Amino acid sequence: MAAATGGVSLGVTVAGSALAASTGYVVESIVAGREATIEGIVNSAAGGATGSMAGAILDKAVGMVSETIAQTIENAKTPSPYSNISDNTNIGAGKNFTTKQKQNILQANSNRNNGVVKSDSSGKILTKPVKTQAGVTPSQDEWQIDHIIPKSKGGTNSYSNAQVLSRQENRLKWDN
């Protein structure tokens, strides 16, 4: 329903812009003492409609970019408890955490939580992941190392972009 309403709104805006442009042309011609031509009216209407559509497209694009920037800023506000660990030189967007990075993150988490691994989001005690087996459902409380800003949105494998979550918390995050 929203798409239909948006389409009608854009249609009304385009038609209004076309009418305004052609009316402006006719009035300008009369004031200037010139004869308004059909070609001039058509060209003015087309220009008004084109400008209106271009404006609507730009408004939509700016809105989409603004949403992405706002989400990135919100994600960046979530500090990683692992930002104090020095990154190596192989950091980049879209990369997985290395085995060594995961070990360092889990060690730092365990040190901070009196020898147990806890979720950085909920504080819940987590369990060590078990190797995947056919027909066995993994525990929802097993730990996973997560990218705060997802790899798909340009998140890096830097310690400052890491958090420990339960399997369940990580899956719920996918839906956002």
pLDDT score, position 124: 96
DSSP classification of residue 161: G
pLDDT score, position 132: 85
pLDDT tens, position by position, 63-110: 766 665 655 555 555 678 999 999 988 899 999 999 999 999 999 999
**Cα-only R_g, the chain:** 28
CA 161 to chain centre: 16
CA distances from 133 to 18, 129, 136, 137 (A): 65, 12, 5, 8
Is residue 3 scored above 60 in pLDDT? Answer: no
Neighbouring C-alpha atoms within 13 Å toward the C-beta of 174: 5
pLDDT tens, position by position, 9-64: 555 565 666 566 656 655 666 666 777 677 766 676 566 666 666 667 767 767 76
pLDDT score, position 5: 46
Residues in the chain: 176
Structure tokens at 122: 């909920």
Task: List Cβ neighbours of 42 (8 Å cut-off, separation of 6 or more).
Answer: 22
Query: What's the average model confidence in pLDDT over 122-142?
Result: 92
**81 touches 163 (CB < 8 A):** yes
**138 touches 130 (CB < 8 A):** yes
